[in-house]
């Protein structure tokens, strides 16, 4: 008897009578993307999974970008951290490294993210609040004091002024005596998702894309081990998208960056190996595993079929994952340890290269040392005790995972084709298509929670009376005052004639078409500040003002 017929027999003789006795708790079961889940799946529904998935380390990389994956090397455990001053954040980095973290991940405060110095009036009240305050190379030097930059991999979550923060990092490395071609790490450098979902933009799209492609061009020869961009679906998902939308909009943005680089004269195989991605790990465990696999396969096919990539390394989607901040609830904080564990496990089973696990108290305050240690230990227990790292793609071949992988890829491709029809990602962003799709998905998700169709444990069911005492790690109000004083001292003691000359050079370069990275590094090495450089670029390029479309 064929498997399809056997499944029908099983449903009719065993499953249906049981349902009559014990009705399903919901009428239908589906993923967050609305993909229906049957009660059981058999090979008859996915007989070609081996042909479509291939083997790990081989195109289209569905099962992983390396043949041996974690049997060869575990993912990078990279806890996102940064607050107050460079000195305080340096202490946290040293603590995390002592606890076994294998890579650094820098969180910047809001003024830094939008290109203002700590002493700018627009920065008042925000200095050091949601990340570390970095206004100059001197701050960056303090941030990495005692941390040899040729020995660690550093990720920096910075977008609009990413090229400037990379310039600071390069300047510090040179001062440490580290050849910059030995630097390893990532700058997020993803401006399109800022226009879509996050909002820390500065410049209009065209000059912003120029900064990004200048980084591509500079790093391909000068810093070949550096990931020049981390194309982010994380913030798209945090804004409320489905898993399918996260894949589709992220890869649509990737297409825009790749085409922009090609349009400047770069060959795809010269820069594609330095592109990386950043995804969310959400709650729907099986869908999340399938999402990562589908994204890898779809990207590989796009690179080969659309852009003609010849080097298989250009087709590898390498990604960092962070557990879902939007699932962190103020209620019953300990529940988040369980959520984060499941999300992290989905990322590992999905083949992530790097992982951050959120702390249980992040919905309440800046994470304490204890909570970040628990978050890091979660990764270490998965790595060393669970056994899931001992084999490659452990869920490969599972009928439901293979089916979800296929469906997510197909639905994401449909979105990409629709965006292509609009003229590409930038046009889709400018006309509000992506934003409206995300808003609708977020609305439907919230409605489901409010109606009780989706249970959030501790929030709309299984609630308890609780009194959460404040154990917060708080930013001292004197941080801002001290940062302002240090900036004043820096400007007083630097060679201001040289600084002004370099700012003039930057203005002329911004008006032209030369690569901006060399002049940005010159500015950094001569203590020109972030705000001064961004101010010049604002004068030349203007600022981005989002359209009203909702």
Residue whose C-alpha is closest to residue 54's, from 315, 332, 262: 315
The strand pair at 275-281 and 319-323 is best described as: parallel
Q: Which residues of 22-59 are buried (b: 16+ CB within 10 A; e: fewer)?
A: eeeeeeeeebbbebeeeeebeeebbeebeeebbebbeb
**The predicted structure's pLDDT at residue 1:** 47
Q: C-alpha distances in angstroms, 130 versus 110, 113, 126, 478?
A: 7, 10, 8, 15
Sign of the four-CA dihedral 118, 164, 544, 550: negative
- Both tokens of 226, joined, read 């550096």
- Both tokens of 96, joined, read 């995390």
pLDDT tens by residue, 423-476: 999 999 999 999 999 999 999 999 999 999 999 999 999 999 988 776 656 778
Report residue 209: phi and psi, to 5°. -65, -35
Q: C-alpha distances in angstroms, 361 versus 104, 366, 462?
A: 20, 7, 19
pLDDT tens by residue, 216-257: 999 999 999 999 999 999 999 999 999 999 999 999 999 999
**The predicted structure's pLDDT at residue 23:** 61
Report residue 477: phi and psi, to 5°. -55, -20
Q: Where along the chain do its domains lie?
A: 3-45, 50-451
- Both tokens of 514, joined, read 């030369």
First to last CA, the chain: 55
Rounded CA gap, 404 and 409, in Å?
8
Residue whose C-alpha is closest to residue 214's, from 187, 182, 175: 187
The answer to whether residues 10 and 40 touch, using CB atoms and an 8 Å cutoff, is yes
Residue 239, burial from CB neighbour count under 10 angstroms (0-12, 13-18, 19+)? buried
The sheet carrying 275-281 orders its strands as 226-227, 184-187, 153-157, 103-107, 76-81, 354-356, 319-323, 275-281, 229-232
Residue 153, classed as helix, strand or coil, is: strand
Rounded CA gap, 402 and 393, in Å?
11
Rounded CA gap, 105 and 403, in Å?
34
Residue 462, classed as helix, strand or coil, is: coil
Report the 3 state secondary structure along 504-541: HHHHHHHHCCCCCHHHHHHHHHCCCCHHHHHHHHHHHH
Sign of the four-CA dihedral 274, 344, 467, 463: positive
- Both tokens of 155, joined, read 């990720």
pTM of the full structure: 0.91
**The predicted structure's pLDDT at residue 75:** 96
The answer to whether residues 108 and 156 touch, using CB atoms and an 8 Å cutoff, is yes
Q: C-alpha distances in angstroms, 67 versus 104, 314, 389, 416?
A: 26, 16, 13, 29
Residue whose C-alpha is closest to residue 403's, from 38, 46, 22, 165: 46
Domain at 50-451, CATH homologous superfamily? Methylmalonyl-CoA mutase (3.20.20.240)
Residue whose C-alpha is closest to residue 164's, from 215, 201, 240, 229: 215
**The predicted structure's pLDDT at residue 231:** 98
Question: What interhelical angle do 496-511 and 517-525 show, nearest 10?
Answer: 170
Rounded CA gap, 170 and 230, in Å?
18
The answer to whether residues 315 and 253 touch, using CB atoms and an 8 Å cutoff, is no
Cis, peptide link before residue 539, omega less than 30° from 0: no
Rounded CA gap, 153 and 94, in Å?
14
- Both tokens of 236, joined, read 């798209």
Residue 187, classed as helix, strand or coil, is: strand
Q: C-alpha distances in angstroms, 328 versus 78, 106, 167, 461?
A: 19, 20, 34, 16
The strand pair at 76-81 and 354-356 is best described as: parallel
- Both tokens of 392, joined, read 């490659």
- Both tokens of 62, joined, read 């569905």
Rounded CA gap, 429 and 128, in Å?
31
| Partners of 227 in beta bridges | 186
- Give the residue ranges of the chain where pLDDT is below 70: 1-4, 6-7, 10-11, 14-15, 18-28, 38-52, 470-473, 549-550
Rounded CA gap, 106 and 188, in Å?
11
Sign of the four-CA dihedral 138, 142, 148, 154: negative
Q: Measured at the alpha carbon of residue 357, what is the angle toward residues 109 and 74, in degrees to the nearest 5?
A: 120
Residue whose C-alpha is closest to residue 118's, from 140, 136, 141: 136
**The predicted structure's pLDDT at residue 5:** 74
Rounded CA gap, 14 and 21, in Å?
11
């Amino acid at each position: 008897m064929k498997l399809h017929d056997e499944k029908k027999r099983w449903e009719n003789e065993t499953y249906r009578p049981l349902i009559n006795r014990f009705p399903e708790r919901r009428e239908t079961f589906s993923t967050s993307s609305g993909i229906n889940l049957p009660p059981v799946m058999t090979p008859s529904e996915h007989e070609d999974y081996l042909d479509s998935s291939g083997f790990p380390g081989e195109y289209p990389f569905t099962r992983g970008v390396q043949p041996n994956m974690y049997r060869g090397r575990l993912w990078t455990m990279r806890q996102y951290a940064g607050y107050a001053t460079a000195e305080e954040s340096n202490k946290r980095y040293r603590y995390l490294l002592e606890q076994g973290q294998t890579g650094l991940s820098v969180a910047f405060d809001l003024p830094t993210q939008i290109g203002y110095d700590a002493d700018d009036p627009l920065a008042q009240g925000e200095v050091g609040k949601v990340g570390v305050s970095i206004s100059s190379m001197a701050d960056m030097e303090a941030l990495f004091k005692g941390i040899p930059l040729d020995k660690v991999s550093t990720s920096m979550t910075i977008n609009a002024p990413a090229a400037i923060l990379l310039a600071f990092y390069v300047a510090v490395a040179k001062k440490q005596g580290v050849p910059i071609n030995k630097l390893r790490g990532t700058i997020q450098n993803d401006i399109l998702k800022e226009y879509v979902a996050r909002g820390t933009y500065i410049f209009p799209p065209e000059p912003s894309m120029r900064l990004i492609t200048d980084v591509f061009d500079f790093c391909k020869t000068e810093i070949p081990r550096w990931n020049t961009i981390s194309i982010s679906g994380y913030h798209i998902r945090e804004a409320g998208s489905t898993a399918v939308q996260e894949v589709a909009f992220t890869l649509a943005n990737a297409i825009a960056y790749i085409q922009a680089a090609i349009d400047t004269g770069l060959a795809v195989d010269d820069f594609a190996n330095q592109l990386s991605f950043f995804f969310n790990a959400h709650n729907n465990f099986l869908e999340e595993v399938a999402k990562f696999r589908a994204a890898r396969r779809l990207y590989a096919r796009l690179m080969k079929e659309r852009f003609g990539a010849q080097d298989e390394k250009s087709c590898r989607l390498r990604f960092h994952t962070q557990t879902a901040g939007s699932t962190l609830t103020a209620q019953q904080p300990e529940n988040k340890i369980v959520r984060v564990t499941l999300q992290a496990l989905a990322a590992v089973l999905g083949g992530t290269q790097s992982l951050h696990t959120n702390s249980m108290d992040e919905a309440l305050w800046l994470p304490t040392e204890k909570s970040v240690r628990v978050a890091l230990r979660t990764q270490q227990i998965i790595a060393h005790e669970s056994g899931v790292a001992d084999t490659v793609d452990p869920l490969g071949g599972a009928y439901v995972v293979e089916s979800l992988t296929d469906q997510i890829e197909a639905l994401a491709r449909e979105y990409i084709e629709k965006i292509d029809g609009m003229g590409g990602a930038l046009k889709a962003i400018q006309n509000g298509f992506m934003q409206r799709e995300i808003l609708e998905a977020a609305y439907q998700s919230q409605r489901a929670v409010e109606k009780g169709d989706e249970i959030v444990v501790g929030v709309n069911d299984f609630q308890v009376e609780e009194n959460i005492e404040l154990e917060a790690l708080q930013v001292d109000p004197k941080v801002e005052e001290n940062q302002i004083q240090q900036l004043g001292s820096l400007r007083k003691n630097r060679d201001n004639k040289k600084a002004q000359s370099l700012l003039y050079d930057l203005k002329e370069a911004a008006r032209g078409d030369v690569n901006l990275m060399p002049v940005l590094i010159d500015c950094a090495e001569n203590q020109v500040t972030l705000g001064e450089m961004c101010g010049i670029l604002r004068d030349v390029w203007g600022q981005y003002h989002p359209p009203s479309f909702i």
